[in-house]
Structures are given as C-alpha cells and as structure tokens.
Amino acid sequence: MFLSANTCEGKGDCIKQCPTKAIRLINGKAFSCLTCGICYKNCPNDAIFKNKYGGYVVDRAKCNGCGICMYNCPTNNIHIDDGVVYGICSRCGVCREACPINSRIDGFELTKEKQLNFIDSLKILMPPIEDIPHKSNKITEVSRGFFTTDFDNCIFCGRCQKYCPTTAINVVLDRDEGICSGCRICADVCPNGSMNKNQLVNTDTCTLCLNCLKACPHNAISVDDFKITVNRLNHKPNGSIVSCLNCGLCADACENDSLRNIDNKLRYNPTFDVENRTHEVAIKSCPVSILKEDGEMFVFDELTEEELPTLSSFCVSCGKCVQVCDEKNARKYMTAVWDGRVSDECISCGICSEVCPKDAITLQRENIIVDLEKCVLCENCAIYCPVDAIPKNTMFKREIASGFNFIDQELCMHCGLCYDICSYEAIDKIDGNFIVNDDKCIFCGACKNACPANAFLFERKFKDSIGGI
C-alpha cells in the first residue's frame, strides 16, 4: 500500500491524479486503500484480481456492481459511482509522483512494524491484527553454486560437452564443418601419443590406426598419401555454450521424485521412473532448456515389459568439465550471488514477475521487489527480461517473438498510465482515446500491468535465442 507521511499538507494532488479514486482526506491527511485483499476474497463474481504490482484491479467486464466489496472494505474506502467500482488501489504509483512535497511513501519500503504503527495511529475501523510474523534476520542476498564458463577464455571447442557424463553442456561452434575446433579429442584417443595437444602429428610414430579420424567430432581429420592431416584455422572462433545452472527447479518439479536436490547437488534414480513415467513438468521447468529425456538409456518395466525413458542433461557436479578443460581453463566452479537489485534499464514490463516459478517478484514502476527468502536464483527472470536489466550467468535467452495488444475502449478509464509508462512510445493518444501503435509495440506488457481497468487484450510469444552476459 501507499502511505502519507506526517509532512502531508492535504493539498489533494494525489487525490486528483489517482485513476481509481482510492485516496481520500482524513484529518487533513491523504489516506488510501490498504491493499488488504478483503474485497478480492469476497467478490462473488471473481471481478477483482491481484496484479503484479501487489495491488488490486476491478475487471469491469465481470463486475455487476453488487457492492459486496464495498460492504466488506474494512476502511470504507470503496464506493460505486454510475455502476463503476472505485476506491481500490492498483499500486500504480501515480500518487507518489503527483505529490509536490514527496509525502507519499511506498509501504513496501517500510518495515511491517512501521506500517502497523501508522495504520493504528489513524484510528480507523479495521480488522484486528494479531500475531504478525516478524523475522529479525533479513536475507540480503541469495546465492547458488554451479559449474560455468569463462567466455573470455572459451574457444567453444566442445571438449567439455564431449566428456560431460550427463550431456548437461550444449556447445555450438560458429565454424564450418570440416575445420578443427581444437577440442584435442584426437590426442586423447591416440594410442601411442603421436597426436599432440596442438593437433600436430609425429609421422615417425603414427601407425595410421585412424582412431583420431573416427573420433573427430567435426570431421576435420583426413588421410593424404598415408599421412594424417588436420584442417586447422588460426583464429578464435565464435559460438555459444549453455549448461545446467544447478538451480534445482527440475528436482522440485519432478513428478515421480526420481530427480532430487541433495546437499545442493542433483541426484537421479531412474528406478523411480517405473512408478510414474512422465518427465514433462520437470523438463518444462528447466530455465535454460537443457533437461531432456535420454535417448540411449532406458529402464525396463517388468509389469508392462516396456522400456521407459530416463532423464539426462542435468549437472551432477562431478567437475569433469573442469578437468578436461586443462588448456584454456575456461570451465570453473562459481558461486552466483544476487541481492535483488536491477539496473536502470528496467521498464516495469512485468515479465519477470510472470515467469518467476517461486512467486518471488513484485512489480514497482521502474523497479521490482524480490523476496529473497523465496528466490532460488534460477535466473528465469533474467533469461526472459527484454532489456537485460537483471544479471544472469548464462548465454541462453528467451526473446519476444510476436504478440497481440489491443485496448478495449469500453473498459478504458482514460487514466493515461499506459501512455506514461510505455518506454517505446507505442501508445498513441487520438481524440482522447489511447490506441496501441502496432509498429512500435514490442509486447513487453508494461502497459497491461499498469492498467487499473484491465482494459488490455494482450498476448505474446517467446522464442529461444542466445544473448550476451
């Protein structure tokens, strides 16, 4: 909720600007909806919903003006004018911006104790507040250990991918087939050490067993006049590498409990897959789309005499990728840390809040609030963020591919919040109406989340891509 400080002079600028008429004067101070949610819980038509900002919005398409919300409001803040429900705060933040002396305060920035003391001082009828939970040791950051890549040193050779026992690493080399990637697998398989780590062949000791030719993942080795030839280029290639983040979401979502997070390490027991064959939810939960069903290993169900698929591509923290990357030292173990802050590029689009699997993110205008007690640092929010305002440690990215955005003029309250919040100037004001400019809209959703009338018809689709970190 938004509160007024003692410095409030009752000038009413916030009241004039509030699009939902949720602010009134009491004893010369601006007072607004508590966003307690009682109206939301008691609405018989499900016409009130909680938005990503933590506020509540009336869906005027569903509301029949019955007044149940008004009768249940503990502060008598809700009223109905011409069949339209007003007085419910959507946490749009306009009041804070409109106050000329900065007396409006976001309640999320205060401690629970200060909120309760402030409300109590107003002496307004409200439900009794008892046994409010309070934690003295507030979490200031969340961390997660995982194996990752130093992209400045990585040559995308694929050596780590080749030796990963669970195929939890995916390397894409931006180089034509038939050219050496420098993975040194040829040297590993040479039985008498004739191939060195620089892919140079000692013709005096080479026996032409062709083991290197067979093992080369890029078909870069050939035989010419009874001599081994390696097709090499002397420049650093481009590429991408995506690996398991060890966030544990897959273990949390695993339907049959065959995949577990034990001491922050993923562990898998395929025999549990016999009891429940599906892996769909666990696979969909992976933020970087690494997890998949194994195409080579199956478990046999004696009752049905069927071979059932098993899971693969989850990191077991064995460290083999670090061991085999001995030349470039690009693979390493790292601890990711996040304090919940985002950069100034944040556009309040709300995608992070939508995709957070733990409901740990609440929106503010031009910012987000992260409940670090819920956050598992899965980086799903950062992977989806269209402006890279949230830090991430993977090259995997989901981009907005297409969408649909339309304002229902019968529901629009003409408050202009969508117009003000759009970072791409994709909302046009024409003859007093607000219209979406399809040529500029990127379907981020900031306008939809800011709308206090639920007037937007909105859809979007994402596509997988690779982005910088």
- Between residues 117 and 433, the one the model is more confident about: 433
pLDDT on residue 301: 76
pLDDT on residue 198: 85
pLDDT on residue 112: 55
Mean pLDDT of 145-162: 93
- Between residues 205 and 60, the one the model is more confident about: 205
What the block records as the tokens of 233 is: 């280029």
pLDDT on residue 115: 58
pLDDT at 132 over 70: no
Confidence of residue 131 (pLDDT cuts 50, 70, 90): low
pLDDT at 278 over 80: no
Q: d(Cα 421, Cα 404) in Å, to the nearest integer?
A: 18
Q: d(Cα 269, Cα 76) in Å, to the nearest integer?
A: 57
Fold classification of 175-237 (topology level): Alpha-Beta Plaits (3.30.70)
Q: d(Cα 290, Cα 278) in Å, to the nearest integer?
A: 17
pLDDT at 61 over 70: yes
Residue 2 amino acid letter: F
Q: How far is CA 247 from the centre of its chain?
A: 12
- Between residues 375 and 363, the one the model is more confident about: 375
Please tell us whether the domain made up of 400-462 is placed in CATH 3.30.70.20.
yes
Query: Which residues are CB-neighbours of 428 under 8 A, at least 6 positions away?
Result: 434, 435, 436, 437
Least confident of 83-87, 100-104, 207-211, 413-417: 413-417
| Domain 400-462 in the same topology as domain 2-122 | yes
pLDDT at 176 over 60: yes
- Between residues 1 and 268, the one the model is more confident about: 268
Coil, helix or strand at residue 21: coil
Question: What global pTM score does this model have?
Answer: 0.80
pLDDT at 236 over 80: no
Q: d(Cα 220, Cα 206) in Å, to the nearest integer?
A: 17
Mean pLDDT of 1-6: 87
Average pLDDT of the chain to the nearest whole number: 89
Q: In the chain, what percentage of residues exceed pLDDT 90?
A: 65
Give the helix/strand (H/E) hosting 17. helix 13-17
Domain locations in the chain as residue ranges: 2-122, 175-237, 247-312, 400-462
pLDDT on residue 295: 83
pLDDT on residue 122: 61
pLDDT on residue 114: 63
Pairing of strands 238-243, 169-174: antiparallel
Mean pLDDT of 270-283: 83
**Beta-bridge partners for 25:** 30
Q: d(Cα 31, Cα 6) in Å, to the nearest integer?
A: 12
Confidence of residue 407 (pLDDT cuts 50, 70, 90): very high
Mean pLDDT of 288-300: 90
Fold classification of 2-122 (topology level): Alpha-Beta Plaits (3.30.70)
Q: How many CA atoms lie within 13 A of 140 on its CB side?
A: 2
User: Which residue shows structure tokens 């690009």?
Assistant: 330
Closest to 155 in 3D by CA, of 186, 183, 178: 183
Least confident of 3-17, 125-139, 325-339, 366-380: 125-139
Q: d(Cα 317, Cα 117) in Å, to the nearest integer?
A: 49
Cβ proximity of 397 and 466 under 8 Å? yes
pLDDT at 136 over 60: no
pLDDT at 206 over 80: yes
pLDDT on residue 119: 63
Give the helix/strand (H/E) hosting 252. helix 249-253
Least confident of 327-331, 340-344, 393-397: 327-331
What the block records as the tokens of 85 is: 């429900």
pLDDT on residue 226: 93
- Between residues 108 and 460, the one the model is more confident about: 460
pLDDT tens digit sequence for 17-28: 998 999 999 999
Q: In the chain, what percentage of residues exceed pLDDT 70?
A: 93
pLDDT on residue 137: 61
pLDDT on residue 244: 97
Confidence of residue 116 (pLDDT cuts 50, 70, 90): low
Cβ proximity of 57 and 39 under 8 Å? no
